[in-house]
Structure 1
């Protein structure tokens, strides 16, 4: 609907004023607060169509921060007061009753009805309800809404909330406007009502709590509950008194009720009503599902069945609108996208979504975790008007309101106070104990990865989200920043296989454990993505990077950098997830995230881009091979073997699907050079809600005609899983005539003068840098700065390889075009050379640098030198010939020379 709006001059980051300067504060007329902007002679000269934000509607100055690299830049930034006015006619059937205005989502507001200040609200997480009149009259009226998003101007708003994703510039921005549903509601004596429908321990037993704010004469009334699909129609006699009324009723569901979970999204319409003197005072309809939630040891149970949370997090990244979607239809698209990748869980990182998100999750069977907008804030429990006291007030007030507003949704499974908070553990415990008295059918936690440097959970925590279970160790994910040592196993120097799991990290813990923000493997940017920012934000960081790479004349390489860094990132995500699902006792994980994060230094860590579009990294079908309700897995000691080696394979079935999988043969095969070496384990049953681990099977690597890329293939019923392995001859011959050196000394130069070929193996050449096997963690510039502030060594910052796998130097070293597992030992022993100033060289294996530095890095390259040819390998392979893959690459290079 079209709404007039006006912004006074002097507002923060102000628009050009539409009118002359007007005092934005109220003046008193006959002791009633009247706003000068409501004067009849005042004309608002612009119009905005609500729901919207000032930025979506392009109201204000076009102003982009071209130098912004930390996060997206707003196109029409505005912080301050904006006034929205609407005149309307109230029909007769809404008169002589109370009149409420509901704004589903906005910022701090002051509401003027016919020129008089009637209501103020500081609600930003739940809908605002404003009583305009308790005895409305028919005819023409005017509403003026003052929306102020300069929130720290208000004494009850803790400034630390600006770090949370409800408000931060790094994600959805701190917009001004009114979003979602905007409507008037007539009231008949009841102006506020909250109905809690709560499970009380069994699938059939529920309670109904009604909290009703009543204005009128004390008297008898009737409270009704109807669930027509279940044949339930209950009436309870109550007495309504002036003010707040509290009622509590028992509700018994029939045996025929169908429960709600991720596989069965059974929803019922529940109607509540209160009638007094044969007049209906209030009626509400609720679409909900029935379920029982509890924990048992390290497991979460829904309807007495163990579940496993395969989750991602939502950081409110909506770059086209700068504000979260409000409709169920929009959220259905988002959650269906998540389900394509095998996910059943969604964590809202330091923010609370609107009603539409809960409705969509109810329909699709997505388990939600909601958080208050705290990110890295301290909570001590201190009361009063100090900074800490404001935090305490906010937590107690807003936690209850969020739970009351959205707690009837079956998808609302979990609640946490915030993200990576610190403070006093006892203060968190006290809050959780209080929340359990309000709703005991939601699971509560102090927060996500709270006390991250000294991991600890409280006595009231019902689950624990953490990245490690002990101070300085016991990791339960595969990758970390160099500012959060120790690193994960996938980032280490040890030779990798698929045999890592985290049982030892769980030994001292007896509540469900969820691995915090796993992954964070950055991919190279898509150079065309900057063109997609056509809405309220611009990715100025990517624009700056694109210009930088153009200046270096390397724009043509960006497609390969994205493709091959992405291919490696996908392999890393698989190992990160599988290490968790093959761990007995884990309850789930939360990715950070399936989607890129364009803030905090520009962290392109998603399988999907910021617009939830595929980046070509890995298809949904491939992703579900290792991330789904049912997954096969195998523990392998290594990825590389010699002919005659025995490969011990401990396979297993991760089954958290709808049902158990009955007897069937489990086949394990080694596929090599067109041949199959296999073993079948007969009569395997995989019960739901657990891991089924199979006996170790040993397969022997056959006699080879040469080095081979092979596959370990697992099949069980309709499931399939493949692991790449590389097999090498036990004896490898190289070119004995090649001249090998570790430095360009006089002898090597002499050989080159003679026109000979020289091979240089060295990890200590000038202008060389450290390399890492995995792609860079999160964002190189952000964590480089953090490491420097802690006097720690920054991460290598590299992002995989681009490999010319048709080059003769790699003829005896089977490889794809990206860095797969057989390169891990080579890269960790390499220091690639910066080739930015080199000329006339041929790259055979290039290390991809992060886009902040943008170097050309050579791991294996050749160039004409004097009269000969110099082949440079920046990994000192001769020192490590006991490692099969290193020895094979070494002899492949010599064979070429």
Structure 2
């Protein structure tokens, strides 16, 4: 097909008051100009705003209303000449991606299209002679549904404009539409369905996007004396091998033919994204080529088989990420393949093989890039709300019809891509299960090449699996059957990473398919739930506990928040500005802590990465789980500003963990040590289970497993075993290894390193081992633990106290009296409360504090604690006897969980151990700090270590504190008077 490219300069006008139709702007000269493709914001049209949004990025040129575009197009060089023009050509105006569009040719109104997810296509043949003015009006205010992340300020913004390809397609009067390719790798053949379209009469005005056919007011007829056929050929895109041409006669309307290939056919998957091209030539009986078409496809069979997904007959596991199409430079999703290749390649470097698009569908270029790289794609209808039926008094038939048709448009436009394997009806839906089931049935019957789910995390506390669902995406099967590691406070109970001491032995098998379940999952009645960024009261019906019979995917996993990296602000050089980050930076500066910003970011970021490791490994250890979808690998720029990514919003590494280290626990082959805890005592014998999650096509044969306990480069202990067999496509136990914790004189942080396979000539420490090098080479992983001996002399600390005039007190008044005497005082303050301190918690905040504080308050539920772990001056001499990193690690769990962080706002005190507060509240929070008080010296620890009699870390931290206080190095810098000590608390 020929194209008349319409990229370039167009007349332009903003119409905020939306009066342009009444004022006949389609007949007017538009005084401004714009180069398309563009949005109002990328073209910087209008008056920039000084607004500073704190919940999401700011678009200074944000515009809602009508925009008008006009351009003259010269058709005199086309073949549309003479009286027989209607038998020669068809002309279609195509806008790849826009909002609601309206089109005029001269003063003739052609029609409107409101798809957010597919191209807009207008048949303009009846209006074409020579030169014509084409006018397009785009409206981003009148959507039938809100549009989810297709039109959200939290993600790609509610932009106004036209992006991607803009052209007039010139085709023969007889042409093909609805080409659907179903590839069968077993039979080495493709089934091709096509619609043959022919037109009589010049009166056609509209084009039905749902089924790519003519509307009812046109004659959908072919001349009966004509015969049409296609010549089909297939090319291997890699080998440039062509398969023989075949000829197929076409009937009017729908046609199906089978094209056979040979045994050289390769399959498409994440490991081998093999692509082919189907070339079709449409000819008439005189063998005149009317049109030519090219379609890329792959031989892939993605199925739900029992509780697992299979790709081409082999079990696979989805390592997914959420995507809301966040692109700060443009404020809209790119439409070029190169941009998507860059994004998807980065995701693949972090072990991701699956994309779930939250209430949105990406452009064609995203699917093309995913085809090339081997990424499993799941677009979602642009909806986040309640699906009703006719019995519901709030039923909106127009909105629901729009959503259903949007799904068919997505299937029609992108369905041939092998990467398009799944589709969801929306995010966190409520409403009529019968209606959802009916919609699913329609899609499954229409296009069986994809798997379908009724939505992501539907019905929340009361999930169900509908008859026509191929797989389930959610976070729980009842109130307590959780299969995610973290939850918001308003969705309590919270996950195991938030509520349990650090462990690497947890999995979700009993939560997903428990061995014995009796009773109901919930009682009936009304309940208030989180609903988007707010709340909603919904009706819940009692039902039996749900045991899934389809693959289960965990929804929006992770959401471990970290402090902002303010150095990112300068990267926002495009459409969207990080004015939220500027506000957060100013707040921190007002509190006098801007100098700590980088340390807050690095410590909270590294801690979040450790939480993600535990989360992902729990998923991989779970034989009953079919995959997970991270809330995101990258930061989410909206909904309060959720900095939950190990990558920033530009998909760039933040520096908290390398892709090589991340792939140790997130790739197609991961070695997993089942450590029951991370804190051990000398001499303790630990049974460590070893699991192998392997989903590479090569598998792993006869792996030899070696476990080493390392102190730096020194090996303190080593155990190993050998297994026989071929491990392919599954989660396997490689047995248990017994490890005796070594005798050490002081507490130590050590590393457990596990390696499986027979390492080749490369050093096993080499971090560049790729996923494809697994067979007979090293798969490795590592875990940080702490080992604590007995304190040598149980009376030693008492002697330190008595010999060095150290007073240990829980009472501030008593402490002040001793300070007046010039004593050294270790204070465990006993008067910490909600007024002067923040509750201690080990895990970092979920999502972001501002959003869930507001939701919890609305629901009258406990507000999240909202902190981001610890920042520790690890080189401080107080830790000479206590091993620590600069961020939260498991030896701090007992200590932090039994503490409160003291609010030190306005105090000229730099804590030794900080609790990192969130960017909204920005308290200066101290867990351990020191200060000179007159002639005395005070060290404050907000966790009463003396009372934690069963905790080795607590004992050793107090021991280290006392040794420090007895040394000459105990010289606090900050000074206050005795009378001011009270004011600290």
Partners of 1:448 and 1:806 in 2: CA distance: 46
Q: Does 1:148 align with 2:139?
A: yes
> Does the C-alpha gap of structure 1 residues 836 and 368 become closer, same or farther in structure 2, counting only changes over 3 Å?
same
Matches within 5 A, 1:632-651: 632-651=671-690
Return the match for 1:264 from 249, 258, 272. 272
> Does the C-alpha gap of structure 1 residues 234 and 669 become closer, same or farther in structure 2, counting only changes over 3 Å?
same
> Does the C-alpha gap of structure 1 residues 732 and 645 become closer, same or farther in structure 2, counting only changes over 3 Å?
same
Q: Does 1:105 align with 2:121?
A: no
- Write the deviation string for residues 645-701 of structure 1: whole angstroms up to 9, x where unpaired: 112211121111121112232101112472331111124545221112122111111
Work out whether residues 13 and 32 of structure 2, in 8 Å CA contact, stay in contact via their aligned partners in 1.
no
Return the match for 2:598 from 559, 567, 583. 559
Q: Secondary structure at the match of 2:396?
A: helix
Partners of 1:167 and 1:842 in 2: CA distance: 45
> Does the C-alpha gap of structure 1 residues 38 and 702 become closer, same or farther in structure 2, counting only changes over 3 Å?
closer
Aligned to 2:3: none
Matches within 5 A, 1:715-754: 715-717=755-757, 718-733=778-793, 734-736=796-798, 737-738=800-801, 739=806, 741-754=808-821
Q: Which moved more, 1:437-446 or 1:278-287?
A: 278-287
Give 4+ residue runs of structure 1 displaced > 4 Å after superposition. Answer: 199-203, 383-387, 739-742
> Does the C-alpha gap of structure 1 residues 141 and 360 become closer, same or farther in structure 2, counting only changes over 3 Å?
same
Partners of 2:839 and 2:65 in 1: CA distance: 48
Return the match for 1:36 from 16, 24, 28. 24
> Does the C-alpha gap of structure 1 residues 622 and 891 become closer, same or farther in structure 2, counting only changes over 3 Å?
same
Aligned to 1:885: 953
> Does the C-alpha gap of structure 1 residues 386 and 796 become closer, same or farther in structure 2, counting only changes over 3 Å?
closer
Partners of 1:522 and 1:354 in 2: CA distance: 30
Q: Does 1:619 align with 2:603?
A: no
Aligned to 2:543: none
Return the match for 1:757 from 811, 824, 831. 824
Aligned to 1:497: 503
> Does the C-alpha gap of structure 1 residues 568 and 174 become closer, same or farther in structure 2, counting only changes over 3 Å?
same
Partners of 2:16 and 2:741 in 1: CA distance: 77
Work out whether residues 388 and 394 of structure 2, in 8 Å CA contact, stay in contact via their aligned partners in 1.
no
Q: Does 1:302 align with 2:311?
A: yes
Matches within 5 A, 1:523-562: 523-562=562-601
Q: Which moved more, 1:533-542 or 1:637-646?
A: 533-542
Partners of 1:754 and 1:341 in 2: CA distance: 59
> Does the C-alpha gap of structure 1 residues 653 and 764 become closer, same or farther in structure 2, counting only changes over 3 Å?
farther
Partners of 2:438 and 2:423 in 1: CA distance: 15
When normalised by structure 2's length, the TM-score is 0.84
Work out whether residues 801 and 819 of structure 1, in 8 Å CA contact, stay in contact via their aligned partners in 2.
yes
Shift of 1:742: 4.9
Shift of 1:308: 0.8
Aligned to 1:473: 480
Shift of 1:837: 3.3
Return the match for 2:641 from 594, 597, 602. 602
Return the match for 2:898 from 829, 835, 851. 829
> Does the C-alpha gap of structure 1 residues 697 and 231 become closer, same or farther in structure 2, counting only changes over 3 Å?
same
Shift of 1:868: 1.5
Partners of 1:170 and 1:266 in 2: CA distance: 36
Shift of 1:625: 1.0
Q: Secondary structure at the match of 1:404?
A: helix
Work out whether residues 874 and 884 of structure 2, in 8 Å CA contact, stay in contact via their aligned partners in 1.
yes
Q: Does 1:811 align with 2:797?
A: no
Work out whether residues 842 and 863 of structure 1, in 8 Å CA contact, stay in contact via their aligned partners in 2.
no
Shift of 1:360: 0.3
Aligned to 1:876: 944
Partners of 2:174 and 2:948 in 1: CA distance: 79
List alignment gaps of at least 5 residues for structure 1: 13-22, 27-34
Shift of 1:729: 0.9
- Write the deviation string for residues 122-177 of structure 1: whole angstroms up to 9, x where unpaired: 2221111111114843x32221111111224xxxx12x33xx00011111111111
Partners of 1:685 and 1:849 in 2: CA distance: 51
Work out whether residues 667 and 680 of structure 1, in 8 Å CA contact, stay in contact via their aligned partners in 2.
yes
What RMSD over aligned residues (CA atoms) do the two structures have, in Å?
2.1
> Does the C-alpha gap of structure 1 residues 314 and 692 become closer, same or farther in structure 2, counting only changes over 3 Å?
same
Q: Does 1:122 align with 2:114?
A: yes
> Does the C-alpha gap of structure 1 residues 50 and 211 become closer, same or farther in structure 2, counting only changes over 3 Å?
same
Aligned to 1:29: none
Return the match for 2:169 from 179, 185, 190. 185
Matches within 5 A, 1:207-356: 207-216=191-200, 217-218=223-224, 219-228=226-235, 229=241, 231-240=243-252, 245-278=253-286, 279-356=288-365
Q: Which moved more, 1:801-810 or 1:778-787?
A: 801-810
Return the match for 1:388 from 393, 396, 410. 396
> Does the C-alpha gap of structure 1 residues 885 and 203 become closer, same or farther in structure 2, counting only changes over 3 Å?
farther
Shift of 1:276: 2.6
Shift of 1:106: 1.0
When normalised by structure 1's length, the TM-score is 0.93
Partners of 1:98 and 1:534 in 2: CA distance: 43
Aligned to 1:447: 455
Return the match for 1:24 from 20, 34, 58. 20
Work out whether residues 196 and 251 of structure 2, in 8 Å CA contact, stay in contact via their aligned partners in 1.
no
Work out whether residues 763 and 831 of structure 1, in 8 Å CA contact, stay in contact via their aligned partners in 2.
no
Q: Secondary structure at the match of 2:601?
A: helix
Aligned to 1:850: 918
Work out whether residues 230 and 256 of structure 1, in 8 Å CA contact, stay in contact via their aligned partners in 2.
no
Q: Which moved more, 1:641-650 or 1:747-756?
A: 747-756
Shift of 1:793: 0.8
- Write the deviation string for residues 770-823 of structure 1: whole angstroms up to 9, x where unpaired: 122122111101100111111111111111111112222211111111111221
Q: Which moved more, 1:571-580 or 1:230-239?
A: 230-239
How many positions carry a matched residue from both structures?
860
